[in-house]
Structure formats: C-alpha cells, structure tokens
Structure 1
Amino acid sequence: MTATETPAAAAPPQAPEPPQLVPDALPLLPEDPPRVGEFWLRGRLGANAAGYLYAAADETGRGAVVAMMTEGSADDASARDRFVRAVDELPGESVLAHNDADDDDLALWVALGPLREDDGSSSAADERLIAERRGEDVLSAVLMDRIPQIGRVRGPDFRHYWEGRRRPGLFRIWPLPWPAVLRPASRLALVLSLLAMALIMALAVLIAWLLFRNAPEVDPAPIIPNPSGTTTVTITPTTPPPGSPGPGTPQPSTSPGSPGSTGPGPGTPNPNSPGTPVDPADRF
C-alpha cells in the first residue's frame, strides 16, 4: 500500500430490523357472527376443527374470550356432550355466560373471563392468557386430541368425520346488531347513502314528469263505469264525403238496358245462358 492509497471505508453496521408485532386478534371474517349472546366479537384468537376462540366484550366494556363450536362439531351430538362436560368442569367464576345446551339448531358457545381492561400490566395479560387456555381446553375436549395414547400406535390415525366442515356454527342474534354496532364513520356513510338514494328518486320523478307532461290524452278516452254499473258511450256522427247523397235523399233507380244499368238489357244475348254459341277461343 502506497502513501497515497487509503483503506476502503468500512460499511456502516445495519440497524437490526424491528420485531414484527403480532396482533392480539385477527380480524373477523364475513362468516363470523358479529355478536354472540351479550358479547360483541372483536377478532379471532385461534381455531381448530372443533371451534373458534374470539376476543369479545359486552356493552359495558367487560372483556371475555368466547369459545364457539364449528358447523361440523355442532351437528354431532357426542361432540356437543363433550363441549358441555368440558364447560361444567371449569371453575364457576370463570364462566361468564353460555347458551342453552338444548338449542339443537345452534352452535354451543361459552364466554370465559373475567378480563380486566388491558392497561399493559402483567396481571391483565395473565388473565387473558388463562381465559384463552381454558377455551383451548374446551375445544380440545371436543376434538379429543389431548387424550393420552394407551399402548403402541398402530394403524391409521383417528379423524372425526365432521372435521372438514370448519365454518362457524349457526347462531341467532337478538336484538339485531344494526345500527348499534355502527361506528360514527359508518353512521355518516349510512346517512349520506340514504340522502343520495332520496335525491336519485326525486330526480327520476322530475324527469318522468318533464317527459310526459305534454303527452296527448288517450283517444278514445277510456270508458269508466258509473256506480250503477252501466257505461255511457258517446257516438260522434261522421260527415259524409262531398258529392255523396245525404241521409233521406232518394236514390236514382236504374232499369235494365238504361245507360246507368250494369246488367244486360232486353234482347241482349247473355253469354252465360244455355243455347248461346260459345266462342272456340274461350274453351282453353
């Protein structure tokens, strides 16, 4: 290295990439219920073939974790029984609400808690973690994936026949969530859409009135029966053409053989009468 050469500048150390923040809950999908019982669902926390875990809160802001069965598991009577038994085995203070097990047409669900407001403290995070673990235990009891294996594993693995039907189970919402669930921005959009619809309807009526205001009346006018059941029809006399005899004018008679007669006169041979010689050219 000569005196005029300088060492290459070292590359500056790259700053470490910030860790990606994993959201506490994934957004709800269109098939997810907006409300279950008295709890509004906020997002998905987890799912398996037996059901879903949702983050929820009631009208007062009390948080909860809702475990709800899928469409396939909710149609299986044995799976419903396992869900009920798993909920009964939970501590009483941890079960905030649940639907009736006799609702055969609805998916079973249970709200677990209590959860305090997330203030960043470790106790609030622990309460939510405990509620999530309890919900996972309920769904695992339905799926039976945590039963210890007895003996050696042989043969194919066990799989429920309803595991392919993973949509959320049937639910019933009452009272209806609209429009209480709408945010202020959604309320403004709803009002603006209603005003736009009213303006379009008024414009359509105005255009129809401008197009048909000078339209001629229907000719002839429709016949409207009176209350007695009879109809009145007005007949307008027509004017005879010029040169034609009017009503009451005697018609001239024409006699056979006269200039105005169209028939043959007396003594005129009729070509169609018998005995009249026929022209040979008329035969063909």
Structure 2
Amino acid sequence: MTATESTTAAPPDAPEASVPVPAIPDALPLLPEDPPRVGEFWLRGRLGANAAGYLYAAADESGRGAVVAMMTEGSADDASARDRFVRAVDDLPDDSVLAHNDQDDDDLALWVALGPLRDDDGSSSAADERLIAERRGEDVLSAVLMDRVPQLGRVRGPDFRHYWENRRRPGLFRIWPLPWPAVLRPASRLALILSLIVMALIMAIAVLIAWLLFRNAPEVDPGPVIPNPSGTATVTITPTTPPPGSTGPGSPTATSPGSPNTTGPGPGTPGTTGTPGPVDPSDRF
C-alpha cells in the first residue's frame, strides 16, 4: 500500500461527516391582540416585530406555509408609511408574493404574505426558504420605518423618530368568515364538545332538583282568579249572615206567613202618614 493510499483510506466504521443544517427558529406564541387570520392565511406565531409592523408564521387552508408582514396601528394610519409599504412590496420578485390586501382599504392595516415555503423536513433548502422569506419581510418593514436609509451629511441635532412609533399594536383587520371553529384543532373540538355536554347536564340536574323541591308545595291561598270565556271572573263570597229560620242575637225577627208586620216604618219615613220628626235647620235645600 502506498503512502497516498494510506492517507486517503478511512476505516470502514468511521462516521460520515454531516453537513450542519441551520435550525429554523421557532415562532413566539400569538398574543390576544394578534389577529388569528389575515386573508386566507392562519397565523401560527410571531417571528419578529418593530415599530412598523410584525412578522408572522402562517399557513393557508391547504397547509402552504408563508411569512406574513403586517403593519402596526400607528404606521397603518400614516399615508406616507402606507405608500412606502406598497412600494417595498412592488419591488419584491413576483413569485415571492403569495397574496396581499388592497391598498385602498384605508380602515385596515396593509399586509403581505411571502413565500412559498415547503414543509420543515429538516433540509437546508427548507431552512433557506424560510430565512429568505423572513428577510424579505424585514426589508418591507424597514422601508416603512426608514431605518436603513443612508445618512446624508453630518449628524446634528436630535435623532429622527416617527410620531407613530409608540402605537405598536397590530393594525386593524377584518376576518370573514369567522375563525371559529375552523381554527380549532381536533383536541380543541373534543374539549369544546365535552364542555357543552357538561353544561347541559348541569342545567338538567338543576331543573330536576327544582322540580323535586317544589312538586309538593301547597297551593297559594287564595288561588288565582281564572276568567271564564265571557271575560268575567267568578269570585266565591262566604256569607256572614245566618240562614233563614235561625234565631239569635242580631238576627232579624222571623214572622209567620200571613201575620201582620208589627214593625212598621218609623215616624218621618217617606210615604207614611205619621208625624214628621224634628227638622234640622241646616237641611233647607
């Protein structure tokens, strides 16, 4: 064996040299203020942010990945910033822009979906596509912020700053159709269905307990007055006078049929010939 062969030969059990593959950075979770969906893309997480906008990891209904760049609330209200966003998107290659909203939507924040991105299979090409799309989104937001404009002349005076830089919430968005329940995962759908079933069981148990407690309750006294079809109500009155024929204190004197009435009208009664009683002086009229 020659010296050349000895230097080039390798033991059969030696591991092969692997090419390092850059790891795709994980996206940060979405915050409650972030939109769940823009256009046809569902947002999965945050990739980056600055005063001009946000970068989101997204995917459409078919699973095609994309990077979405969206303006903030402050930059979306500035007409000049919107123009810079549109010009930066127009300068991108046509095959890298998957979708974007209309710049005439004055009440909505501008956004653009960049890609295409393949599934993360651990290959270097998938990582490169992801990094290129992120870099293009950063370029769009940097054009809005104008932080990469070269300095002309000497630096004097205070630093330049946009008046809307403190308004860093995501810009206004419109979702139609509503994201529920298409955005839910199968596990979330199962949890939602189980929670609805538990709520229905609790309500049924509460109704059953109320029925068991009040089923033997006495009726309200007096009972409710139920009107008849003629519109009048029948009310039963208990008599307080004794029946005819009974005697007792306070009862009228019973007379036999045919006997004269011994209790005639008193004096001064109209229609009688008796002596009129005394006249009250005040009763002149």
- For this structure pair, what is the TM-score category when the shorter chain's length is used for normalisation? 0.7 to 0.9
Distance 1:123 1:223, change over 3 A: same
Distance 1:79 1:227, change over 3 A: farther
Deviation for aligned residue 1:238: 4.2
Deviation for aligned residue 1:151: 0.5
Q: TM-score, normalised by structure 2?
A: 0.75
Deviation for aligned residue 1:248: 3.0
Deviation for aligned residue 1:225: 3.2
* Distance in 2 (alpha carbons) for counterparts of 1:220 and 1:247: 30
Q: 1:186 — aligned with what?
A: 188
Q: 1:87 — aligned with what?
A: 89
Q: 2:62 — aligned with what?
A: 60
Give SS of 2:176's match. Answer: coil
2:154 maps to 1:139? no
Q: TM-score, normalised by structure 1?
A: 0.75
- RMSD in angstroms over aligned alpha carbons? 2.2
1:129-184 per-position Cα deviation (integer Å, ceiling 9, x unaligned)? 11111101110111111111110010001111111111111111111111121112
Q: 1:111 — aligned with what?
A: 113
Deviation for aligned residue 1:55: 0.7
Q: 2:73 — aligned with what?
A: 71
* Distance in 2 (alpha carbons) for counterparts of 1:143 and 1:114: 25
The one-letter code sitting in structure 1 at the alignment partner of 2:143 is: A
1:130 pairs with one of 126, 129, 132: 132
Structure 2 gap ranges (5+): 1-22, 255-262, 264-285
The one-letter code sitting in structure 2 at the alignment partner of 1:94 is: S
Q: 2:8 — aligned with what?
A: none
Distance 1:220 1:92, change over 3 A: same
Distance 1:115 1:199, change over 3 A: same
* Distance in 2 (alpha carbons) for counterparts of 1:67 and 1:244: 104
* Distance in 1 (alpha carbons) for counterparts of 2:189 and 2:111: 30
Question: Is the deviation greater in 57-66 or in 213-222?
Answer: 213-222
Q: How many equivalent pairs are there?
A: 230
Deviation for aligned residue 1:39: 0.7
Q: 1:248 — aligned with what?
A: 252
Distance 1:249 1:135, change over 3 A: farther
Q: 1:46 — aligned with what?
A: 48
Q: 1:237 — aligned with what?
A: 239
> Does the aligned pair in 1 maintain the 2:24–2:130 contact within 8 Å?
no
* Distance in 1 (alpha carbons) for counterparts of 2:248 and 2:32: 84
Q: 2:36 — aligned with what?
A: 34
